[in-house]
């Protein structure tokens, strides 16, 4: 057996990983009367990290209700500054002050967010600066651009068409993932943890005697990178269909049914059929409808109209978690 350093416990983080992308719907409504619905907010989990997308009034209560461990949030993405997507944010930020949060928080949003939040905090007796580093990132909602990145994920702004309002969706795209090391091989070759990142990246193992163990004997191929696109409030847009081309899961607003196409047009929204048309054009894996108008008691109509155009459609349900699966 080759003599290497013993593998410390820390190495377990290279092995045990929640290799998934999951979307939890916190709110699927567009406004009152509420029909039991709440304002737009979603949690996207990528591996062990969670992201909050939009934050309508009541989001913190919804996160509590659905047992989201939201104190771990470090990034929030806000599509636009309409109340039904943002009025829950200042409450959440304030609650974290009361809990004496110290973890930094980054907020990505179109212009105006910093003034909105700082005015609210100042007038509502919150000590500024708050207990944690709070950073505002102004996003140009008119351009498709990378706004955030980790070693495994990229987030892009997706320009939406919402009555001229600065409004963007978000495209979450995983980078190609590292290979998975077969645990039994670590024991077999007594591989030190310092070599594990390289092996996960595809390197072969050179044993002390010079013998080479090919990477494919040590690892298993990773799952395909996943992608999720969130289109909050928008008229149906050909450009959006191009930007979200081939995503595994597309959330697209479907505020109205076809009978209210004029209302959709006037208010800068989409019908369920229009959302499905975008999904078909973009060749996405699955479509999730949301942002339902309060005029509808249920979403049966949305589902029927959308599925007639694009079969792999679901209507977003609050509290439900959707696994993002590779589209093939």
Give me the active site residues, please.
Answer: 84
Nearest Cα to 73, choosing from 97, 52, 87? 52
Cα–Cα distance between 293 and 314 in angstroms, integer? 16
Strands 153-159 and 145-149, by their bridges, are antiparallel
Contact 101, 71 (CB under 8 A): yes
Cα–Cα distance between 87 and 39 in angstroms, integer? 9
Residues engaged in binding a second copy (CB under 8 A): 31-34, 38, 57-58, 60-61, 64-65, 80-83, 86-88, 90-91, 94-95, 98-99, 112, 115-116, 119-120, 123-126, 165
Sign (positive/negative) of CA torsion 279, 285, 290, 296?
positive
- Closer Cβ to a second copy, 121 or 181, answer by number: 121
Least separation in angstroms between residue 322's CB and a second copy is 24
Token code pair at residue 59 = 């989001």
- Closer Cβ to a second copy, 81 or 273, answer by number: 81
Least separation in angstroms between residue 259's CB and a second copy is 20
- Using DSSP's 3-state secondary structure scheme, residue 176 falls into coil
- Closer Cβ to a second copy, 65 or 72, answer by number: 65
- Closer Cβ to a second copy, 55 or 199, answer by number: 55
Least separation in angstroms between residue 17's CB and a second copy is 29
Least separation in angstroms between residue 295's CB and a second copy is 12
Cα–Cα distance between 190 and 4 in angstroms, integer? 6
Cα Dmax for the chain: 75
- Closer Cβ to a second copy, 295 or 312, answer by number: 295
Residues 6+ positions from 312 with CB-CB distance below 8 Å = 279, 285, 286, 287
Least separation in angstroms between residue 232's CB and a second copy is 13
Cα–Cα distance between 284 and 295 in angstroms, integer? 28
The 3-state secondary structure of 223-250 reads: CCCCEEEEECCCCCCHHHHHHCCCCCEE
Question: From the CA atom positions of the chain, what is the Rg in Å?
Answer: 22
Bridge partners, 29 (sequence order)? 292
Cα–Cα distance between 135 and 147 in angstroms, integer? 14
- Closer Cβ to a second copy, 87 or 156, answer by number: 87
Say how many C-beta atoms besides its own lie within 10 A of residue 303's C-beta: 17
Least separation in angstroms between residue 264's CB and a second copy is 15
């Amino acid at each position: 057996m080759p003599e290497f350093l013993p593998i410390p416990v820390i190495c377990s983080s290279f092995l045990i990983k929640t290799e998934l992308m999951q979307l939890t719907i916190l709110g699927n409504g567009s406004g009152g009367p509420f029909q039991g619905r709440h304002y737009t907010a979603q949690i996207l989990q990528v591996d062990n990290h969670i992201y909050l997308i939009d934050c309508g009034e009541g989001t913190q209560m919804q996160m509590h209700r659905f047992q989201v461990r939201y104190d771990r949030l470090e990034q929030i993405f806000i599509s636009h500054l309409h109340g039904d997507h943002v009025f829950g944010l200042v409450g959440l930020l304030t609650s974290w002050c009361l809990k004496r949060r110290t973890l930094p928080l980054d907020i990505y949003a179109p212009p105006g967010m910093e003034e909105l939040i700082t005015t609210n905090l100042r007038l509502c007796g919150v000590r500024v600066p708050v207990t944690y580093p709070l950073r505002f990132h102004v996003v140009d909602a008119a351009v498709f651009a990378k706004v955030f990145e980790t070693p495994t994920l990229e987030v892009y702004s997706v320009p939406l068409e919402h009555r001229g309002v600065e409004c963007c969706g978000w495209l979450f795209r995983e980078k190609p993932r590292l290979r998975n090391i077969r645990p039994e091989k670590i024991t077999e070759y007594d591989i030190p943890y310092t070599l594990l990142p390289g092996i996960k990246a595809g390197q072969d193992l050179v044993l002390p005697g010079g013998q080479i163990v090919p990477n494919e004997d040590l690892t298993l191929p990773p799952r395909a990178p996943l992608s999720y696109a969130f289109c909050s409030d928008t008229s149906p847009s050909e450009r959006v269909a191009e930007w979200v081309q081939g995503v595994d899961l597309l959330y697209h607003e479907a505020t109205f049914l076809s009978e209210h196409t004029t209302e959709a047009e006037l208010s800068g929204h989409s019908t369920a059929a229009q959302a499905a048309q975008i999904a078909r054009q973009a060749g996405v894996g699955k479509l999730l409808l949301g942002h339902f108008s309060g005029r509808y008691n249920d979403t049966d109509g949305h589902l029927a109209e959308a599925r007639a155009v694009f079969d792999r459609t679901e209507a977003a349900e609050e509290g439900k978690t959707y696994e993002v699966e590779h589209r093939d």
